[in-house]
Amino acid sequence: MNRKLVSGLFWVLLANLLVKPLWILGIEVGVQNAVGTEMYGFYFTIFNISYIFNILLDLGITNFNTRNIARHPKLIEKHLPGLLSIKLLLLVFYLVVTFSIGLIKGFSSEQFLLLAILTFNQFLNSMILYLRSNYEGLLLFKWDSLISVLDRVLMIVICGLMLWLPYSGEGSRMTVYSFALAQTAAYLVTAVLALTVLIRRQVSVSKFQVSGFKFNRRKRLFAIAILKQSLPFALLVLLMASYNRIDPILLEQLSTDGMGNMNAGIYAGAFRLLDALTMIAYLVSVPLLPIFSKLTKERSEGVRDGEIAETTKGMFAMVMVFAITAACSLACVANDIMALFYEENVEEYADVFRIVIFCIIPISTTYIFGTLLTAGGYLRKLNIFAACSLMANIGVNLLLIPRYGAVGSAWAGVTAQSLMAVAQIVAALKIFEIKLSWGYILKLTTFTLSIIACTLSTKFVVWWQTLLICGAVAMIMALALKLINIKEITKSIKNKDL
């Protein structure tokens, strides 16, 4: 069982690391260059409205289903049509909320058209995640790894053809609408395939009838029970999505001189590389949740009390090595990095990127300490922290966007993410009685100062040399200071108890 789980997790992570960076840094960059900064800002603003509220399409159903099917695999025949019917009802709720936002903001017909496509895309994506939860619960990891990247692979193919095949017509074949529709096609194919395979492998077709979608009293009570359990988690996801994605929306509304879409596009371009890099910390947090869940349970039983502190400090040190090195070195060569990706407005992209890339440090922090607090069941605290971070983000944006545009929004992002990270650190240290020794703090401080000195000393060499030198220094310092302990990592891998 353990071998199968580790193997499945390895393939899922490998597939995502191979495909998703290509999508983010290849296709999305190509689309932004093709449609222009202002039009991409128009798309990005509406996308973020659909993204912020996509938790309304799930409300914790996916997490509930993963746990439930893993414990009771035979219930899939009963739960699949029932949960799909709930998902359809949530779609109606989601559409009412998102289109109400559009009406309040006074969307034009073009904006509503794009919003309609993007909301349908979010529904399809939510459906794929739900169907994948069945594969995960049934331990069908090979199918799960395929479905986890199939939509992106299809998007890369479709968008790649539109971007790079010769085109004799006027203008460009790529628009924000064709980009959104390409995603629709990819999501739809993936969802249909995932559902078809699931029914053929696990569900009796005769039992999977249209009548199974009728929302009777029993299913209503079933839905209420699930949603009651998952609402705190759903609220947390909504709040975190808001303070992570609200910046382009505020930029579009608060920018002066009609520069809303342009500023949103510039912010999107600078944010993109940060989005790709934070995937590293996210992938580290995926196996951490079950490990922390096991350790917190054992701690409550008085078993292996010290392992939470040891694991937390070890994983935090590892992600900080990556995050601090990435933030300092990339900020130093911001102009050169942005010039690699974009054909226009390079200086504007670089000014924003130079600030927003430092969000990788608090974001990586929250993937460690937030995962620990989640595993311990402290969702109420996390919701309070997220609400405060959202208010801070909005407040700083209101102050800075009218004067500084996208740069002001970048500072708002750093402020909100840092507030969330500090709050989580303080809470986790207190709750789990984790003590940070002066030696541990000194090691992190020494490492940080070494990377800063390295970036400053290599400021006048070619950008790729700066990155190589900083990477080498970071690895040497991390090993010398034992922030990355090879012996401990090997010991943890061999530990069969986890």
Digit-by-digit pLDDT tens for the chain (498 residues) are 344 444 555 666 666 777 878 888 788 889 998 888 889 999 999 999 999 888 888 877 776 676 667 666 776 777 777 778 788 888 999 999 999 999 998 889 999 999 999 999 999 999 998 888 888 767 676 777 788 889 999 999 999 988 887 665 555 678 999 999 999 999 999 999 998 888 876 655 445 544 455 555 666 666 677 667 677 777 888 888 888 888 888 998 888 767 888 999 999 899 988 988 888 887 777 667 767 777 777 777 665 556 788 888 988 998 999 999 999 999 999 999 999 888 888 999 999 999 999 999 999 999 999 989 988 888 899 999 999 999 999 999 999 999 999 999 999 999 999 999 999 999 999 999 888 899 999 999 999 999 999 998 887 788 889 999 999 999 999 999 988 876 655 554 455 444
- The pTM (predicted TM-score) of the whole model is 0.79
Domains of the chain: which residue ranges? Answer: 1-231, 246-498
**310: Cα separation from own chain's centroid:** 26
Q: Output the six-digit token pair for 115.
A: 């919003």
d(CA 121, CA 110): 17
- What are the C-alpha distances in Å from 355 to residues 334, 409, 415? 10, 10, 11
Helix 260-300, helix 307-332: angle, nearest 10? 160
The 8-class DSSP code of residue 212 comes to: G
- The pLDDT value recorded for residue 245 is 83
- The pLDDT value recorded for residue 4 is 47
- The pLDDT value recorded for residue 210 is 47
- What burial letters (b/e) apply to 173-208, b meaning 16+ CB within 10 Å? ebbbebbbebbeebbbebbebbbebbbeebbeeeeb
d(CA 482, CA 204): 55
Q: Which residue has the tokens 């504007």?
A: 348
d(CA 231, CA 226): 9
- What burial letters (b/e) apply to 304-336, b meaning 16+ CB within 10 Å? eeebbbebbbbbbbbbbbbbbbbbbbbbbbbeb
- The pLDDT value recorded for residue 487 is 64
- The pLDDT value recorded for residue 222 is 65
Asked whether the beta carbons of 416 and 243 are under 8 A apart, the reply is yes
Q: Is 60 left (phi over 0), alpha (psi -120 to 50) or beta?
A: left
- The pLDDT value recorded for residue 308 is 85
Q: Output the six-digit token pair for 262.
A: 């342009």
- The pLDDT value recorded for residue 141 is 67
Q: Output the six-digit token pair for 95.
A: 């559409």
Q: Which residues contact 111 (CB under 8 A, 6 or more apart)?
A: 42, 46, 102
- The pLDDT value recorded for residue 145 is 78
d(CA 489, CA 493): 6
- The pLDDT value recorded for residue 5 is 42
Q: For residue 404, how many other CB atoms are within 10 A of its CB?
A: 16
Asked whether the beta carbons of 362 and 316 are under 8 A apart, the reply is no
- The pLDDT value recorded for residue 347 is 93
The 8-class DSSP code of residue 459 comes to: T
Asked whether the beta carbons of 327 and 365 are under 8 A apart, the reply is no
- The pLDDT value recorded for residue 379 is 85
Q: For residue 367, how many other CB atoms are within 10 A of its CB?
A: 25
Asked whether the beta carbons of 43 and 176 are under 8 A apart, the reply is yes
